[in-house]
Amino acid sequence: MPELSRRRRLLVLAVCCSSLFIVGLDVTVLNIALPSIQHDLHAPVSGLQWTVDAYTLVVASFLILAGSTGDRVGRRRTFQVGLATFTVGSLLCSLAPGLGWLIAFRAVQAIGGSMLNPVALSIIANTFNDDQERARALGIWGAVFGATVGWRGIFWVNIPVGIAAIVLTALVVPESRAAHPRRVDPVGQVLIIVMLASLTYAIIEGPRLGWGSPVILGLFALAVLAAAALGIYEPRRREPLLDLRFFRSAPFTGAVLIAISAFAALAGFLFLNTLYLQDVRQLSALHAGLYTLPMAAMTLLLAPLSGRITGQRGPRLPLLVAGVMTTAGALLMWGVTATTPVAWLLLAYLAFGIGNGMVNPPISNTAVSGMPRAQAGVAAAVASTSRQVGGSLGVALTGSVVASALHGPLRTGFVPASHGAWLIIAGCGVLVLLTGLATSGPWARATAAHTADLLMSDEARVPVAAVSGVVRGAHDHSEDRATSTRREAILPGPGRRPRRRRTPPPRTRPAAR
């Protein structure tokens, strides 16, 4: 892909951010409208869980395929198809006559959504070649957030934004694809769908059918078998859907675990907080949204800062702050009642917002750092898949804990039933903290350097420049000039210059006397 001007790169970033804006509306802000959906469509708690998880489950199932498809047929083309599908799905959701139709249309919407985030992240990674400039771009990308208007209006907002993004993509986003994209892996794709779908269904329906029922136990067993089959089959395939060698990099593995934990905490927090504000405190959707503005503000303000810190000092500090503040926000919500002071709630939202704002840029940055450009889309898709898997599990786990312990209506029974769910969210914050500590030191960077060398083939040895000090290629931005990467050097740590190997002068034979 040719070098773009700074103005053109910023336009590309703006278009990619538009995709996160409309997807963010469905992943986060839809939670504000859940009580309205419950009232209008007569939905039980499990129905509300499926309204959220029908989207995140389908997105998680197809993200890796979408990332590799973008590498193969073109990232701009895949991005435009995703925007169109997402926009049509949003229109169908706004017209849904019942709960079943809404869940089905959310799945349609998710097919388009699966083509947006990983491809957008891959476009950014291939557009911004400078390491610190990419870190700032990813920080801005992670700061994009949304507002809400009403449960049907949420889907209406997506339509004009989606149409505008399609047009702007055609005008400003250059086409790019991998020099040697991978082949389609149908067996791996089916195994991922079976694993995620059976696990999520078992967790959501466990309280209703009984955790010891044959159906639930069979679904858990099916998820384990699918995961085992994936681990056996994928390494034997020449071009697997999920290259398990990625996970030899400790920072990459840490990014995946942190993404699952952080987004499980976020999805669970939003799900529980919506039920608490609107069912226990009897607030309207508008007032519930205003209560959570501090959390959104912290995310908006701190994500760019986190991106800059990641670019200059590595991901360790942002991840530690994220883990501590996520845990603090969840513990502050543990034990809240209908009469808890508003100041206490705002403090909890501020703490959780700080954690959420600090965690996303390190995940995005670490996932693509050091990966060959030919596999940038797949690496970005794995990171995005981890977010969606975390979101699905967060809603499924917290909702199931509440449903299992709930006695009576939500207004009176939610507070005691939610104690265990808030502790699960706090535990996710602790996992972010511990994983960040374990996967951001010198040992972790060494494993990332080794993995990058392992993954880079002779045909495409142009890695994505590492912000956190993993691998940095020479200043050659064309995928065709692969041989220039022999000048690569391993960075000893964040913010330090690479050590170049000096070529000794040629030896000369002394003149004969």
pLDDT tens for 309-352 read 887 888 889 999 999 999 999 999 998 988 999 999 999 999 99
- Is 513's pLDDT higher than 60? no
- Is 365's pLDDT higher than 80? no
- Is 450's pLDDT higher than 90? no
Helices 75-94 and 99-113, interaxial angle, to 10°? 170
Residue 242 to residue 379: CA distance in whole angstroms: 9
Residue 488 to residue 469: CA distance in whole angstroms: 13
Contact 197, 220 (CB under 8 A): no
pLDDT band at 39; cut points 50, 70, 90: confident
pTM above 0.75, yes or no: no
| pLDDT in the model for residue 482 | 36
- Report the length, in residues, of the chain: 513
Quick one: tokens of 504? Answer: 């000794």
pLDDT band at 276; cut points 50, 70, 90: very high
| pLDDT in the model for residue 310 | 84
Contact 395, 49 (CB under 8 A): yes
Coil, helix or strand at residue 285: helix
Q: What is the DSSP string of 425-486?
A: HHHHHHHHHHHHHHTSSHHHHHHHHHHHHHH--SS---BPPPTTSS-B--S---TT-GGGGG
Neighbouring C-beta atoms of residue 180, cutoff 10 Å: 15
**Placement of tokens 């990171």 in the chain:** 383
More confident residue, 157 or 395: 395
Contact 467, 365 (CB under 8 A): yes
Residue 251 to residue 242: CA distance in whole angstroms: 17
Quick one: tokens of 15? Answer: 């278009």
CA 409-410-413 angle, to 5 degrees, is 80
Tell me the chain's radius of gyration from C-alpha atoms. Answer: 23
Coil, helix or strand at residue 489: strand
Buried b vs exposed e over 347-356: b needs ≥16 C-beta within 10 Å?
A: ebbbbbbbbb
CA distances 215 to 47, 221, 392, Å, are: 19, 10, 20
What's 278's DSSP letter? Answer: I
Report phi then psi at 403, rounded to 5.
Answer: -65, -35
In the chain, the amino acid numbered 289 is: G
- Is 255's pLDDT higher than 80? yes
Residue 432 to residue 442: CA distance in whole angstroms: 19
Residue 341 to residue 300: CA distance in whole angstroms: 25
Mean pLDDT over 131-147 rounds to 48
Q: Which residues pair with 145 in a beta bridge?
A: none
**Placement of tokens 């869940």 in the chain:** 103
Quick one: tokens of 165? Answer: 């993004």
pLDDT band at 462; cut points 50, 70, 90: very low
Q: Which residues pair with 489 in a beta bridge?
A: 472
Residue 28 to residue 37: CA distance in whole angstroms: 15
Mean pLDDT over 224-252 rounds to 86
| pLDDT in the model for residue 469 | 36
Q: Which residues pair with 463 in a beta bridge?
A: 372
CA distances 435 to 269, 309, 354, 439, 441, Å, are: 20, 18, 18, 6, 11
Helices 419-438 and 376-405, interaxial angle, to 10°? 150
Instruction: State pLDDT tens for residues 123-138.
Output: 666 565 555 555 555 5
Residue 78 to residue 439: CA distance in whole angstroms: 33
Neighbouring C-beta atoms of residue 431, cutoff 10 Å: 20
**Residues 6 or more apart from 20 whose CB is under 8 A from it?**
116, 117, 120, 141, 144
**Placement of tokens 């034979």 in the chain:** 509
Mean pLDDT over 437-452 rounds to 82
Query: Minimum mean pLDDT among 180-189, 197-206, 346-355: which range?
Result: 180-189
Buried b vs exposed e over 386-408: b needs ≥16 C-beta within 10 Å?
A: bbbbbbbbbbbbbbbbbbebbee
CA 370-23-304 angle, to 5 degrees, is 50
CA distances 393 to 134, 276, 309, 386, 512, Å, are: 30, 20, 30, 10, 79
Contact 56, 267 (CB under 8 A): yes
Which of these, 461, 464, 466, lies nearest to 482 by C-alpha position? 461
Residue 161 to residue 449: CA distance in whole angstroms: 40
Neighbouring C-beta atoms of residue 175, cutoff 10 Å: 12
pLDDT band at 94; cut points 50, 70, 90: confident
